[in-house]
A and B are shown apart, each in its own frame.
Chain A
Amino acid sequence: MNNHFKTFFAAVLAVALATALAPSATAQASALRGNIVVDGSSTVYPITEAAAAAFRKEYPNVNITVAVSGTGGGFKRFAVGEIDISDASRPIKDKEFLQAKENGVSFVELPVALDGLSIVLSPNNTWVDQLTVDDLKSIYLEDGTARKWSDLNPEWPNETIKVYSPGTDSGTFDYFKEVIVGKTGSFRPDMSVSEDDNVLVTGVSGDKYAIGYFGASYYFENKDKLRAAAIVNPQTGKAVMPTPANVVSGAYAPLSRPLFIYANVESLRRPAMRKFMEFYLENAGKFAKQVQYVPTSDKIAAQAKAILNKRRTGTVFVIAEMHADGIIYKKRTEPLVDAYTEENLLDTK
């Protein structure tokens, strides 16, 4: 009885101490207040959500709302100064850039993570070492021509390809659909679909004639059970394996892409917004891993921090070309690692 009382007393004392000490520790944090409005891509959303939720635990008086109108919908609102941050699963387009320019909206462009897909095969599949985007199309499309491995290459086994895919709810599915299937095409209806990634891993690893795809980071975790196919980069013509290094360098195209946030530089003058962006970039790698994306390289992460700290505004993905009849704005096609330098920045001002 006495012992119980002691424990109870100790607990009460601990709680009292904690509450007494807490205000002094968080006084500075709770001083930060304001609203931050985020909209944009549903692919970037999980990272921003993780950042916002973690930030809120430290700064409870900062209200962050995150909506998912899609990358285009986000930029539409961003370009008129309606929102503070735009989540984007692709760089800003020249049209959107011009719209922001027209409205006097100036921004910083910050890559936060990389999204990649691995095409996986069973370890017993000994014949495939590389596939092209067209191969994937003929395997996955409804009107594709490859139903047996021998349809792709006569030397390959005359066996039916067993096709696996993550569920339609996942961002992985959306991304694969975007790159391989396209807007007008449709998936073949007889593929095995599961929301549970583990089911896919067991399915593909156990079936010699199976093929499937995952988020790249998920493949890294299951390397021992699966074999990834190298994918031919359509620009360089080289077959590239989905290694972290290749995803980070951008060589593993088109099945990897950088994810960005764009922050309105006017909003960045508000302390709450500034603190949130610093917090976001500081922990972007951690959040990216948490939601199964690939963190950007240390160099790109450092570059992003520098661009934020110096408020170096503009985008590196739009080029202005001087012509006799005026300026023509074009898209820059180089991968992020090569393009993302301060010299390449084109400002809206």
Chain B
Amino acid sequence: MSPREKPALLSDKKLLQERRRPMSQRHRKDMIFRGICRGVSGMSASLLVILLVTILTEGIGTLSTQFLSSSPDPDPLIAGMFPAIMGSVWLLVLTMAIALPLGISAAIVLEEYRPKGSGLRKIHGFVQLNITNLSGVPSVVFGILGLTVFASMFGLFGNEGNPSAEVGVSFVDQFYNEGDFVLEVPVSAASQPEAVPIAGMRVFDPAGKAYELNLVGDDAEWPEDSALAKRSLRSWDVPGRIKDRRWWYFRLPFGRGILAGALTLMLVILPIIIISTQEALRAVPSSLRDASLGLGATQWQTVRRITLPAALPGILTGAIIAMSRAIGEAAPLLMIAGIVFITRAPGNLMDDFTAMPLQIYNWAGRPQKEFHDLAASGIIVLLTALLLFNAVAVFLRQKYSKPLS
């Protein structure tokens, strides 16, 4: 018997001892462990059930089509979350449209085009490390970053009130005359001086109908005839300039609009998309790549025709998980928007907005119970959207995943 075999013998002995223990004792241990596992999982499941039941009982009463289609109001009976729902939809579409191409391409570069030189490898490793770190950064930090970088753009381009560049906007000088009528004069550029009332100049009513301006003398009586009063001004009337924004309105800086919000959310979910895409690409067996390369395909052809399609289910799942994260985020948006009263859906990329989590947060923070119920209804809407996303993720994974080797 060589000394080398001794440990083996020892362990044999141990095993024997273990075997000699009565069956019942080992079974008891097994039972206890099983009990603990069941208890823990039961507890977490029941917590979820309690949460869902509370939310449902609190919120189902106020959930109605009117709640979905009307805007916030100080009267909880007629308040709704239409602007918040639309804000969330805009945010989600924009965020994904920006984050997906960026995230997937970043992952492809990191995973499929690994550099060979030692210097480049160090940079590669550094980038990889940073992305992993970024995924752990609290989202409110991204909010502060987004506010300086996207919303105010370091103050380089003026501010929201006086942007240094804007397109998709037309200016109108509005007069408000003594007879409570609004008269408009279109302005070709922001730099153009304000319209001055001149007798006979062309003015428009808000419906767009053209009139000839009737200038009422300084000492003359204001005309009583409303048809005339409608197109009358005094010489001292000054207009205010309003902006009519098209749906493609764009300005620098972005301001606290929906684009700044979407870009900030993009920062939050980009690490998630990159990491999940990398995982999906890594799961593709290298035999597939080698075969493609061996047949003479270039690296790009291999990525496009072989690796990406094979990794698609994993990428999609990651994208949808990122979407679920984006739709529920409140902290970074609170930094950007912080709007608590808004009555319409966004109409362009720069428009003020609110989102579902913000609206829920706002309602939940009010002292009155009626608003807490509204918050619960909002949570139901948000949860439904989340569950829907997750269901799609599961479906995609089931449908498209197939054995790869």
Q: Write the residues of chain A forming the contact surface with B, with a CB cutoff of 8 angstroms.
A: 28, 30-35, 37, 39, 45-46, 48-50, 52-53, 56, 63-69, 77, 80-83, 166-167, 169-170, 195, 266-275, 290-291
- With a cutoff of 8 Å between Cβ atoms, the chain B residues found around residue A50 in the complex are 74
- With a cutoff of 8 Å between Cβ atoms, the chain A residues found around residue B180 in the complex are 28
Can you list 5 pairs linking A and B with CB atoms under 8 Å apart? A35-B242, A267-B240, A269-B239, A274-B240, A291-B74
Q: Kindly report which residue of chain B lies nearest to residue A266, judged by CB atoms.
A: B240
Distance between Cα atoms of A82 and B352 in the complex (Å): 13
- With a cutoff of 8 Å between Cβ atoms, the chain A residues found around residue B340 in the complex are 45, 49, 66-68
Expressed in whole angstroms, the minimum distance between the Cβ of B375 and any Cβ of chain A is: 12
Given A50-B74, A167-B367, A269-B240, does the pair A65, B352 have CB atoms closer than 8 Å? yes
- With a cutoff of 8 Å between Cβ atoms, the chain A residues found around residue B176 in the complex are 271, 274-275
A169: which of B240, B242, B365 is its contact (CB, 8 Å)? B365
Partner-contacting stretch, out of B95-103, B159-167, B296-304? B159-167
8 A Cβ contacts from B301-350 to A:
337-344
Distance between Cα atoms of A297 and B75 in the complex (Å): 26
Expressed in whole angstroms, the minimum distance between the Cβ of A170 and any Cβ of chain B is: 5
Please tell me if B206 contacts chain A, counting CB pairs below 8 Å. yes
Interface of A is mostly: mixed
Contact B207 A31 (CB under 8 A): yes
Distance between Cα atoms of A45 and B161 in the complex (Å): 21
Expressed in whole angstroms, the minimum distance between the Cβ of A266 and any Cβ of chain B is: 8
Contact B182 A53 (CB under 8 A): no
* B residues contacting the other copy or chain, number (CB 8 A): 34
8 A Cβ contacts from B175-212 to A:
175-176, 180-182, 205-207
Given A65-B352, A170-B367, does the pair A271, B182 have CB atoms closer than 8 Å? yes
Q: Kindly report which residue of chain B lies nearest to residue A73, judged by CB atoms.
A: B338
- With a cutoff of 8 Å between Cβ atoms, the chain A residues found around residue B63 in the complex are none
B343: which of A46, A56, A170 is its contact (CB, 8 Å)? A56
Write out, one digit per residue, whether chain B residues 350-370 have a CB within 8 A of any chain A CB (1) or not (0).
001000000000000111000
Expressed in whole angstroms, the minimum distance between the Cβ of B347 and any Cβ of chain A is: 9
- With a cutoff of 8 Å between Cβ atoms, the chain A residues found around residue B206 in the complex are 30-33
Interface of B is mostly: loop
Please tell me if B238 contacts chain A, counting CB pairs below 8 Å. yes
Distance between Cα atoms of A319 and B206 in the complex (Å): 43
Given A31-B182, A31-B205, A169-B365, does the pair A270, B174 have CB atoms closer than 8 Å? yes
Q: Which of A48, A68, A291 has the most CB of B within 10 A?
A: A68
Distance between Cα atoms of A325 and B32 in the complex (Å): 84
Given A34-B174, A49-B74, A63-B344, does the pair A270, B160 have CB atoms closer than 8 Å? no
Q: Kindly report which residue of chain A lies nearest to residue B152, judged by CB atoms.
A: A82
Expressed in whole angstroms, the minimum distance between the Cβ of A245 and any Cβ of chain B is: 27
Contact A81 B159 (CB under 8 A): yes
Q: Which of A64, A81, A82 has the most CB of B within 10 A?
A: A82
Please tell me if B251 contacts chain A, counting CB pairs below 8 Å. no
Contact B343 A63 (CB under 8 A): yes
Given A45-B340, A66-B339, A167-B367, does the pair A268, B74 have CB atoms closer than 8 Å? no
- With a cutoff of 8 Å between Cβ atoms, the chain B residues found around residue A290 in the complex are 74
Distance between Cα atoms of A273 and B207 in the complex (Å): 19
Distance between Cα atoms of A48 and B182 in the complex (Å): 24
Expressed in whole angstroms, the minimum distance between the Cβ of B151 and any Cβ of chain A is: 11
Q: Kindly report which residue of chain B lies nearest to residue A195, judged by CB atoms.
A: B367
In the complex, besides A39-B338, A80-B159, A273-B240, 15 extra interface pairs with C-beta distance below 8 angstroms are A28-B180, A30-B206, A31-B181, A31-B182, A31-B207, A53-B74, A63-B343, A65-B341, A65-B342, A67-B339, A68-B338, A169-B365, A269-B238, A271-B182, A272-B242
Distance between Cα atoms of A46 and B73 in the complex (Å): 10
Q: Which 4 interchain pairs have the tightest Cβ spacing?
A: A270-B240, A269-B240, A271-B176, A31-B206
Expressed in whole angstroms, the minimum distance between the Cβ of A44 and any Cβ of chain B is: 12
Please tell me if B241 contacts chain A, counting CB pairs below 8 Å. yes
Expressed in whole angstroms, the minimum distance between the Cβ of B350 and any Cβ of chain A is: 11
